[in-house]
Amino acid sequence: MKPLLSQVYSVLPVGLQSLACTADGYRRALGSFTSYFHQTLEDWERRIDDPVEVQRERQWEMLAELIERARAQAPYYRFLPPVVDAGDPASSIEKTLANIPPLEKAVYRARSRDFVARDIAPRRLHQRSTSGTTGTALPVWHTTERIAEGLTAVWRQRRSFGVKIDDPVINFTGQVIVPLSQRKPPFWRRDYLSGMTLFSMYHLSGRNLPDYISAIHDTPATYVHGYPSVLHLVGRAMLEAGRCLPPGRLRGIFTHSESVLAFQRETIERAFGAPVRDYYHSTEEAVSMTACDHNRLHVDMEYGIVEVEPVEETEEFVRGPLLVTGLGTAATPFIRYRIGDVGTRFKGSCECGRPGDVFLDIDGRIEDYVETPDGRLVGRLDHIFKEQYEIEEAQIVQERVEAIEVLVVAGSGFGERDRKSLEREVHARLGEGIQVDIRQVAAIPREPNGKFRAVKSSVGRIDP
């Protein structure tokens, strides 16, 4: 939300805030549930059990088309090598991609406009921004159709677990829908049209959690949507209070954007009485994987191709950094894009029977919670960095509840304005009561296991 809009929103009474959420939900639904979406969903649901050879053939056709189009329309790809037809689709894909160097984020960052296909009218482009695993904000451009394709993967997964599009949902959202100054429930707002109840991620304190739990029990919902770290916090409180949902009331807990750690999964499933189903997707709209009921991540083959740069390989799996190539109607072609996550591809086939590429896990984002002076635990703080294009990497460090330090690897254009805007974003989510120090550093150290920890807090860390 723009600062002015959020100021107006924050002084509205709760009922009107819910109406504003309803209007926003309606606007999004109009843009999302288009006839193209419904047609694509029908096609993809029909294709899900196609033999892998048929899926590979389709990927090959789409890749060849993507490469031709990228070369003709996107200035960055002008010198893209031509496709290699090696006879069968799998080898053609492999040989064609092997000729193209991986695309690094730094290159995309420096020349992002050159990646946008010129045959798409600017009015058809939606700009979004990604913060990714290391706090690097990147602008990306998509067509409505591409966004619908991402949504198709999500809905194909949900529908396979018996969830319908107009089912009521509990959604723990990253948007600030409840003003931080609010001290009493409700810490949620309703979208009256879609039946969605939006729960605030920013009011989760020991004092407020009992109210959240009551609301979860009272809210009609078929499924839950949210970040695993946030749902874990709520689930833990439900278990401690002995107030779990009866098993089977919900059809599934759909998580995204972070690795689901084993202890988180166990707590969430026990508390909410339903299985956790993860999906892996990125704002670049170049990769999509959806978990089946064996908890394996299936690559949505119509959506993209995922390669693994092998670091560790056995007869069973291959593990390493992922290179992703988006297929379909991309306005911004991402070809062999190093997304920044490490994955483990299973070489066998999944017991669920769905053909195609399968991953055992993706090591995505990990972070601690920040604890605020008023006792809230706030997780998943990447929203702070979403519009901060002058920041190359960022990490939030907390040693005591009164203060946080934001370590910033700054781009060449980083100045006082960016510093102020960053401070504003921090206070918008953590409140005015916390002291914020922004410190420019040359690099951000990785954890001993090589992973980047986006939020490092010695007071807000929850160990299994």
Residue number, 360 or 462, with CB nearest to Zn ion: 360
State the minimum distance, in angstroms, from the CB of residue 295 to Zn ion: 8
| Torsion angle in degrees (nearest 10) through CA of 8, 9, 10, 11 | 60
Residue number, 164 or 294, with CB nearest to Zn ion: 294
**Residue list 209-228, contact with Zn ion (CB under 5 A):** none
**Residue list 163-202, contact with Zn ion (CB under 5 A):** none
How far is residue 416's CA from residue 1's CA, in Å, rounded to a whole number?
22
Please answer whether residues 227 and 369 qualify as being in contact, where contact means their C-beta atoms are separated by less than 8 angstroms. no
Residue number, 296 or 338, with CB nearest to Zn ion: 296
Residue number, 97 or 350, with CB nearest to Zn ion: 350
Residue number, 299 or 408, with CB nearest to Zn ion: 299
| Torsion angle in degrees (nearest 10) through CA of 110, 112, 114, 115 | 130
Structure token digits, residue 16? 């009107």
State the minimum distance, in angstroms, from the CB of residue 297 to Zn ion: 8
Contact status: 352 vs Zn ion (CB under 5 A): yes
Binding mask 296-335 toward Zn ion (x if CB under 5 A, else -) reads x---------------------------------------
Residue number, 45 or 145, with CB nearest to Zn ion: 45
State the minimum distance, in angstroms, from the CB of residue 101 to Zn ion: 32
Contacts of 303 by beta carbon, 8 Å cutoff, 6+ apart: 149, 150, 153, 287, 288, 326, 327, 328
Contact status: 350 vs Zn ion (CB under 5 A): yes
Residue number, 352 or 436, with CB nearest to Zn ion: 352
Residue number, 292 or 426, with CB nearest to Zn ion: 292
Structure token digits, residue 192? 């009256």
Contacts of 445 by beta carbon, 8 Å cutoff, 6+ apart: none
**Residue list 383-442, contact with Zn ion (CB under 5 A):** none
Contact status: 63 vs Zn ion (CB under 5 A): no
State the minimum distance, in angstroms, from the CB of residue 162 to Zn ion: 17
State the minimum distance, in angstroms, from the CB of residue 285 to Zn ion: 23
State the minimum distance, in angstroms, from the CB of residue 437 to Zn ion: 46
Q: Which of 267, 198, 228 is nearest to 25 (CA)?
A: 198
State the minimum distance, in angstroms, from the CB of residue 305 to Zn ion: 19
Residue number, 55 or 194, with CB nearest to Zn ion: 55
Residue number, 113 or 294, with CB nearest to Zn ion: 294
How far is residue 153's CA from residue 88's CA, in Å, rounded to a whole number?
26
State the minimum distance, in angstroms, from the CB of residue 354 to Zn ion: 5
Number of residues that bind Zn ion (CB under 5 A): 5
Residue number, 330 or 350, with CB nearest to Zn ion: 350
State the minimum distance, in angstroms, from the CB of residue 226 to Zn ion: 23
Residues belonging to the chain? 464
- Strands 252-256 and 276-281, sheet pairing: parallel
> Is the Cα torsion angle 60, 65, 66, 68 positive or negative in sign?
positive
- Of the candidate spans 93-101, 189-197, 349-357, 427-435, the one that interacts with Zn ion by CB under 5 A turns out to be 349-357
> Cα dist. 10→6, 42, 170, 187, 417 in Å?
6, 40, 22, 13, 24
State the minimum distance, in angstroms, from the CB of residue 115 to Zn ion: 33
Q: Which of 267, 254, 262 is nearest to 293 (CA)?
A: 254
**Residue list 284-303, contact with Zn ion (CB under 5 A):** 292, 294, 296
State the minimum distance, in angstroms, from the CB of residue 157 to Zn ion: 11
State the minimum distance, in angstroms, from the CB of residue 346 to Zn ion: 9
Contact status: 49 vs Zn ion (CB under 5 A): no
Residue number, 355 or 379, with CB nearest to Zn ion: 355
Residues forming beta bridges with residue 313, ordered by sequence position: 318
> Cα dist. 434→48, 344, 373, 449 in Å?
49, 39, 7, 30
Contact status: 378 vs Zn ion (CB under 5 A): no
Residues within the interface to Zn ion (CB under 5 A): 292, 294, 296, 350, 352
